[in-house]
Structure 1
Amino acid sequence: MPKETFYNLSEEKRMKIYQAALDEFSSHPYKQSSVNRIVQKSGIAKGSFYQYFEDKKDLYKYLIDEIYKRKISYLTPALKNPFEMNFFELLRDIYSSGIKFAKENPQLAKIGYYMLNDSGKEIYNEVLDEKKGDGMAIYKTMLELGMKRGDIRDDVNLDMAAYFLFQLGNSISNDFMEFFDTGEQDQVFNLVDGMIDMLKSGIENR
């Protein structure tokens, strides 16, 4: 995480560093990204960079945290009144909110795309492991509410289902970026509908 000296900078200077990092990590996978390009674009000395961050990984993890907060802000409206929709409607809202986030923040989504598609690298595994627990907790809470409402069978393994939904959400984000490159990103909404229909046949309480 950033050192206190980073937070002591003016907002304008912090945002220049943030934007330079965003440009770099959305244009290159982590291994190919360059601190030299970041400091050059943000207009700071390389020595100053290490007064603000321990290293490139420290900056990258800070950026991922900021992206995560932004994405959660897109999901929050759907989660505010979970009892107003059945589980499958709520799940569609969550996945659709994630797609909206990617559509409106393509640079942020591209960083996530690199992370998911290069998951064999140590840094990506480290970041994913840190965020996986938070993501699965959201899905598990949704599943518990759905079970209480009678939307979901009471014999469903909630931990396994939460893990599956978390991975499915990652897959949808990945598919969106691939469709984005072809200009057919709205097709992902059809994919979400199809996946939720398949889920219903497996865990819906009938």
Structure 2
Amino acid sequence: MPRPRFEKLPPERRAHILEVAAREFGALGYEGASLNRILEKADLSKGAAYYYFDDKADLFLAVVRHCQEQAMFVAWLRPEELRADTFWDVARTTYQRQFVLFRQSPWLMGVARAVWTLPAQLRESGPLAAIFEQGQSITRTILTRGRELGVVRDDVPEELLVAWVGAIDSAGDRWLLANWEQLDEAAMQRHAELLVDGFRRLLTPAQPGGKS
């Protein structure tokens, strides 16, 4: 990850460097992205780049974390403030906000595509795995709150619930990455509704008679 001295740059300068890099990685993938082209567009010398980052891989990790933070900021919520009668409405709105952000900032989707095209072992170990685990931790917290409210089933081990949500989320992301250029904002919001409906059907406690 970036060296501490990178964090000392003005926020606008940090964001500019990371977003220039995000556009390059998003357009060409990790392998196709050119570090020299990134540095030129970011008005950053090679000496300065190595003052902030170890290498291209280090810069890519910083970009992935930056993109994750952007998406999480837009979708940020307080689990303790969730209520039973609004739980699934809030979930739907949260996904819709993220997808609007993706439409407004296409490079975010490009970076996500770059991550998913990496070999699986790179996503499942090391720094990238830690980034994915952060997302799972948030999911775990929300599911725990849902159980407290009685809107998420408690007859399944928590880690299996997290795995189910992750599987649906990943499938939705892959479909979105493959099709998002043909989707307008209304279609993307519909995709968010379908995703959350899938979560709701899977996670809602069964009612008498076997209905969920």
TM exceeds 0.5?
Answer: yes
Residue 168 of structure 1: aligned partner: 168
Residue 158 of structure 1: aligned partner: 158
Residue 112 of structure 1: aligned partner: 112
The change in CA–CA distance for 1:190 and 1:83 in structure 2 (over 3 A counts) is same
Residue 49 of structure 2: aligned partner: 49
TM-score relative to the length of structure 1: 0.82
The change in CA–CA distance for 1:162 and 1:86 in structure 2 (over 3 A counts) is farther
The change in CA–CA distance for 1:44 and 1:135 in structure 2 (over 3 A counts) is closer
Residue 131 of structure 2: aligned partner: 131
Unaligned 5+ segments in structure 2 are 208-212
Q: How many percent identity over aligned positions?
A: 20
| Cα shift at 1:59 | 1.0
Unaligned 5+ segments in structure 1 are none
In structure 2, what is the Cα distance between the partners aligned to 1:201 and 1:112? 27
| Cα shift at 1:200 | 3.8
The structure, 1 or 2, with the larger RCO (C-alpha pairs under 8 Å, 6+ apart) is 2
| Cα shift at 1:202 | 3.5
CA contact (8 A) 1:102 1:108 kept: yes
| Cα shift at 1:10 | 5.6
CA contact (8 A) 2:140 2:162 kept: yes
Query: Residue type matched to 1:70 in 2?
Result: Q
| Cα shift at 1:97 | 2.7
| Cα shift at 1:29 | 0.8
| Cα shift at 1:73 | 0.7
- Greater helix share, 1 or 2? 1
The change in CA–CA distance for 1:128 and 1:58 in structure 2 (over 3 A counts) is closer
CA contact (8 A) 2:75 2:94 kept: yes
Residue 178 of structure 1: aligned partner: 178
The change in CA–CA distance for 1:180 and 1:80 in structure 2 (over 3 A counts) is farther
**1:90 matched to 2:90:** yes
CA-based RMSD: 2.7
CA contact (8 A) 1:18 1:63 kept: yes
Residue 191 of structure 2: aligned partner: 191
